[in-house]
């Protein structure tokens, strides 16, 4: 590509892990296996939650959306990464980069908010069990999910064009394996303090506010759980919340490190591997966490595999 032209007129080049060519073949195999397992795991969660009527509850309604989000999130960048790892061609079209950035930002924001919605669901289940089905009715569940999707995508719709339209003075080398916001901000040939400040403010709203809500919810949950007299009752309450809390820890541990700091401050090499973990390992682990730690899901899998007659009946 002609260096005098802006990258909006052609392709971007995703440098990815090209500075470590000895790793590319290994990464290709590992990421391909992880991606296929992610597709199988999350699709299984969606199918089991839909097909077994015992799981037709608010908790699994939200879990279906989480699994769909994970499928969409990882698919927004991993196929492109596999293509780039498989040969010398590291390019991505401007349109492809724009779509990737929009989906990465949007789906990440939706997941932050959805995890907060799931925390509220667990709060009602533990703290107000007698009113759970009344409070978490179908209309409220749909409204909460709609708000999560709407706010996450609106955030991406606001930030993606601003990031893509930054002057790059002909630079088209993206020092990452995907078109993510910090990497594109680093390419700009103008002062980016204003956009970094905007990113920080929006990150507080989209990332930190849901996290604070989650922590407050679990504070109330913990207080109620500690008042339960029976050990079996406490164990049941902990198992109800354990899977979600584990997923929250994995998700937020990475996203806060990556996005709650300016575009030029972090180690770029370390950032790539953290983004890779956030983009493929977390969606891979989520179905395992909910399957291995959740008796209801394991029983539903058993019923479906054994073809129990009551599956799908009410």
Structure tokens given for 66: 């989480």
Q: How far is CA 279 from the centre of its chain?
A: 7
Which residues have a Cβ under 8 Å from the Cβ of 84 and sit 6 or more positions away? 14, 16, 90, 92, 177
Q: Is the dihedral of CA 87, 91, 96, 101 positive or negative?
A: positive
Of 16, 11, 2, nearest in space to 268 by CA:
16
Residue spans per domain, the chain? 9-306
pLDDT of residue 286: 85
Positive or negative torsion for Cα 192, 160, 151, 281:
negative
Strands 173-174 and 91-93: unpaired
Residue 260: what pLDDT?
55
pLDDT on residue 123: 92
Element (H, E) at 84: helix 78-85
- How high is the pLDDT of residue 6? 44
Residue numbers of the chain with a pLDDT score lower than 50: 1-8, 262-266, 309, 311-314
Q: What pLDDT is attached to residue 263? A: 47
State how far the Cα of 287 lies from the Cα of 293, in Å rounded to an integer: 10
Nearest of 21, 4, 135, 3 to residue 84 by alpha carbon: 21
CATH of domain 9-306: 1.20.1070.10
Cα 259 from Cα 181, distance rounded (Å): 9
- Helical axes 58-75 vs 94-127, angle rounded to 10°: 160
Q: What 3-state DSSP class applies to 93?
A: strand
User: Any idea which residue has 């609106």 for tokens?
Assistant: 154
Q: Is 93 exposed, middle or buried (0-12, 13-18, 19+ CB in 10 A)?
A: exposed
Give the pLDDT score at 261.
53
């Amino acid at each position: 590509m002609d260096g005098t032209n802006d990258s909006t007129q052609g392709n971007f080049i995703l440098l990815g892990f090209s500075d470590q060519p000895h790793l590319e073949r290994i990464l290709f195999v590992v990421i391909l296996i992880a991606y296929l397992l992610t597709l199988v795991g999350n699709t299984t969660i969606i199918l089991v939650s839909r097909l077994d009527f015992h799981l037709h509850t608010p908790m699994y309604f939200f879990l279906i959306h989480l699994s769909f989000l994970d499928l969409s999130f990882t698919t927004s960048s991993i196929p492109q990464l596999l293509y780039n790892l498989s040969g010398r061609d590291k390019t991505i079209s401007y349109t492809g980069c724009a779509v990737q950035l929009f989906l990465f930002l949007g789906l990440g924001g939706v997941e932050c908010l959805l995890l907060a919605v799931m925390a509220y669901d667990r709060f009602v289940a533990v703290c107000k069990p007698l009113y759970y089905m009344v409070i978490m009715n179908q209309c409220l569940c749909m409204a909460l999910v709609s708000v999560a999707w709407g706010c996450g995508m609106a955030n991406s719709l606001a930030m993606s064009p601003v990031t893509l339209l930054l002057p790059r003075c002909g630079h088209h080398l993206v020092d990452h394996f995907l078109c993510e916001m910090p990497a594109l901000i680093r390419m700009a040939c103008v002062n980016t303090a204003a956009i970094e400040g905007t990113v920080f403010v929006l990150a507080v709203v989209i990332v930190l506010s849901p996290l604070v809500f989650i922590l407050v919810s679990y504070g109330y949950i913990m207080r109620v759980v500690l008042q339960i007299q029976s050990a079996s009752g406490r164990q049941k309450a902990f198992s109800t919340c354990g899977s979600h809390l584990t997923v929250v820890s994995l998700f937020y541990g990475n996203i806060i490190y990556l996005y709650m700091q300016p575009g030029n401050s972090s180690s770029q090499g370390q950032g790539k591997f953290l983004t890779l973990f956030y983009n493929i390992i977390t969606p891979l682990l989520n179905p395992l966490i909910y399957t291995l730690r959740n008796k209801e899901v394991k029983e539903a899998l058993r019923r479906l595999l054994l073809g129990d007659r009551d599956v799908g009946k009410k």
